[in-house]
Amino acid sequence: MAVSLPDIADLDAQLDAAERDARLLVENLAEERGCWHAEAHSWSVAQCLDHLAITNKVYLGAMKEPAIRGRAAGRFRRRPALPGIVGKWFAATMEPPVRAHSKMRAPRKIRPNDSPSLTDAFGRFSESQNEIRSYLSTNSDLDLAGIRFPNPLVHGIRFSLATGLHIITAHERRHLWQAWRVRRAAEPTSS
């Protein structure tokens, strides 16, 4: 996507980087290893990708209607698509590496399926990336930093659309980092 706005180009580059990372993650990874769990309640590589696909769809679902209303109300771009202070902090809590004190249980709405196939999970993740890119391209002319949407996971919290996009990209980095750790643990060790 040819974008002349640096903030939009940065978000697009973050999506590209996540997709490249996910492709490398699944490259030459056998289905069996992609579905391997270190422990009974831990996630596999496939579940990490499935979780990202589900979360991306839930977030975008919450962000679509406010963008439509914003366009109808003429709320066009006035500033860069950057989160405010609270949004920036919230997005930063999603960034890897994940420390023990910052781990949180995924809400039921965005938990991965119990045993998705690696191929299907990667396909859904890639599809969600395309949907985010389309959303970003379609709405880059809006005041993404000024239009707010209800957080679909935390009742009573509202974020700007810009914050939502930054949360999505940080959340992707978090779970791709997690998936790489799972993949490394699943790899046979050479003696």
pLDDT tens, per residue, the chain with 191 residues: 445 799 999 999 999 999 999 999 999 999 999 999 988 889 999 999 999 999 999 999 999 999 999 999 999 999 999 999 999 999 999 999 877 656 678 888 899 999 999 999 999 999 999 999 999 999 999 999 999 999 999 899 999 999 999 999 999 999 999 999 999 998 876 54
CA separation for the pair 100, 191 (Å, rounded): 30
106 domain residue, yes or no: yes
Q: CA gyration radius for the chain?
A: 17
162 domain residue, yes or no: yes
- C-alpha angle 19-25-163 in degrees, rounded to nearest 5: 40
28 domain residue, yes or no: yes
138 domain residue, yes or no: yes
> For residue range 109-139, what is the model confidence (pLDDT) as tens digits?
899 999 999 999 999 999 999 999 999 999 9
Q: Could you list the residue range(s) of the whole structural domain that residue 117 is in?
A: 6-186
Largest Cα span, the chain: 65
150 cis-preceded (ω within 30 degrees of 0): no
191 domain residue, yes or no: no
* Domains identified in the chain, total number: 1
121 domain residue, yes or no: yes
CATH number, domain of 154, equals 1.20.120.450
1 domain residue, yes or no: no
